Structure formats: C-alpha cells, structure tokens
Amino acid sequence: MRPVAVIGIGKTPFGVFPDRDLRSLTTEAIEKCLKDAHCAPAEVEAFYLGNFAGPSFVGQNHLAPYVASAAGITGVPCTRFEAACASSGSAFFHACSSVAAGMYDVVLVGGVERMTSQPTPRVTEILASAGDCNGEIRAGATFPALFAMIARRHMHQYGTRREHLAAVAVKNHANGAKNPDAHLKKLITMEQALAGKPVADPLTLYDCSLISDGAAAVLLAPLERAAGFTSKPVRVLGIAQTSDRLALDEKEDITTFAAVARAAQKAYQMAGVTAKDIDFAELHDCFTIAEIIASEDLGFCRKGEGGPYCLEGRTCLGGEKPVNTSGGLKAKGHPVGATGVAQICDVALQIRGEAGARQVKKHSIGLAQNLGGSGATCVVSILGAAA
C-alpha cells in the first residue's frame, strides 16, 4: 500500500444560500482545492462525491458527473457515496484506498449538501430516513429524539449533567466565532445554553447542529508525488470505516458508538499511534452528547467522563486536546454531505499552521471522526505532517 497525502483543500462558507445550487457550491470548493494544489482539472483521474440526500433536498440525482462536469472534470470515473452524515467521510476513505492501492494517482474528493431548500419539518423527515424506517421512523422518532434518549441514558448511567452538554455548545460557539467560514459566528454563555428552547429533553436548541448549505473538497495523491503539487502536503497516517446496526433498540449499549470505537482502533493501529498521540480533533457533534461520547469512544478520556472532560476546559483551544477548533457541526454548520471532507480540510489547515485565530500550538497529528445516523457508520481519519 502506498502512502497517501492530501495535496489540496477547498471549502465554501457554510450557511444559508438561497441563490446557490449544488453545482455552484461544489464547483467553488473544487476550484479552490485545485488552485491550492496547483492542479488542473485535466490531471484529476477520478472523482468521489459524498452526498446524503440531493434527490430529496433538490430533486437532482446522478450527482457525481453532474457537479464534476461543471468544474471541467469529465471522462473519468465519477461516483457518489451515501452513508448518511458520513457520506463524504466514506468518499474520502474509498479515495484514499484507491490511491494507496495504486489504482489512481490524483483523486478528487468532494462533499456537498443544500439543505435549506426545504422547510425544517421536511428537512427533519429527510434526515430521519437515515434511521430505521420500519421501526424508529414508523414510531415517529427523529434524530433529535434519538440523541435525546442517548443523552438521557448517559446521564442516568454516568451522572452526566446538562452543564456538561452546555459546555460543548459554549466551546464550539467560541471556536466558530473565530472561523470566517462558519455558519454561526455567535458567542454564547453557559446561562444561554442552559436556557435554550427545548427540542427533545434534555436537548435544547443549543445542543443541536445547524441546517446548512455548503461544499468542501480535497485532492489526494501518492506521498511520493506530493512535492510536485504543494510544499505543505499532509499525510494520511491512518484511516478506517466501520459500521453498526441502525436502530437504537438493537444496540447493546446506547451510551457508546461501537462503530467509532472499532474505527478508532483500526486507524490508530494503521497510524502506529494511540489516543494520547493525537494533538487535536474534529469530532462529529451533530448533538452535544455526540461529542461527549466520541471523546470517550476515541480514548481521549475514560468512559463516562466526556462531560467533565469538556467542562474542565481540556478540549478548548488552549486545552490539552483541542476539539472542534472549527466550531464543529454545532457552529461551523452541518451540510451533511459536506461534513466529512470539511473536517479533513480543517484538520489539514491546523497541520499546515494556517488556521489563523483558531491555530493550536501542538498540531503535528490530527484526527477527524465522521458519524452516520445514530452510529451505524463511522469514519476515523488520522492526518499528520508529511515531513
């Protein structure tokens, strides 16, 4: 297997863009990415696109060649990947695999979603289709309801408090306020977070990620060719994708995501590192409880201590293990098909020392964790400086 490097990154801002469509969003991200890598569209040998629900959100299918051709990329394999909110994380995993295997040398990975084209009730319905349609959805469950049950069980089992959930929101809002591309650049206090409008007890509005539009792209090449494109390649040290059952009632313990733990173990082994070696991470905080559980499942802290771990400031920008320096899904935004690749872009920015006001001091090794549904899919990627 050949070592793989990220040689270019590009993102659109995340937010509400009523005048944009999937093609314009993706084209912007791709053009930024190719420019960053000093690469022409004709040099791209394959294009992998992560998109969860373009047909439902905007009525367009056959999306990979649809958006690639708008960016001047034709005549190569163009494939769409769907894995709920881990769609572009999965696209990245398979793109890395194809380059590592020697099938292609230059592979472009994109992710896009335009969610604000639909009213909130319809968005909720579309997102719910990533759950168990024959059980949970038929019973009326939505993802806020499912993660509220997860949070309530975590509270019962480990003594997690509302203040712990709120601490995640306060931290990620503070980071998002420093991110020029974030959907929500709004500082909040602990009092505001605790007094948020109820969504699904114990979750409030401040515990839930945003409905966003946006796109992101990364370009991959064998490490041995990376210097021909960029002076700051970022090496893919380890990567793994695993799965689990969709429905909560089929899981042995809903306070842990088995797919996260399995993917982390495989990625750590491939990278030759442990959780202690990770300098910073972008975690999938679709809900605040998801970041807490991910911190535990990834081994950053012991099981049941994810809440205090954040409340004590250990995951803030100046903490021992900065988490979601981008603002996370909570503040940066969560255009679901774009989220996984956007996480890779943010990790690469940190490793390259280009994160601006959000730059962390220790940035040699970063981790991205992209979750699909209520834990049925997880992709864990570990990146590091190529030198």
3 state SS of 305: coil
Place of tokens 């005549």: 75
33 catalytic residue (yes or no): no
Question: Measured between alpha carbons, how far is 193 from 71 in angstroms, rounded to an integer?
Answer: 41
**Could you say which of 164, 284, 334, 363 is catalytic?**
334
Backbone angles phi, psi at 11, to 5 degrees: -140, 155
Question: Measured between alpha carbons, how far is 11 from 28 in angstroms, rounded to an integer?
Answer: 7
Question: Measured between alpha carbons, how far is 340 from 93 in angstroms, rounded to an integer?
Answer: 10
- Parallel/antiparallel/unpaired status of strands 78-81 and 280-282: unpaired
Question: Measured between alpha carbons, how far is 326 from 173 in angstroms, rounded to an integer?
Answer: 9
Do residues 346 and 203 lie in contact, with contact meaning Cβ atoms separated by under 8 Å? no
**Could you say which of 85, 301, 345, 378 is catalytic?**
85
The encoded tokens of residue 12 equal 């659109």
Do residues 114 and 22 lie in contact, with contact meaning Cβ atoms separated by under 8 Å? yes
85 catalytic residue (yes or no): yes
Q: Which residues are catalytic?
A: 85, 334
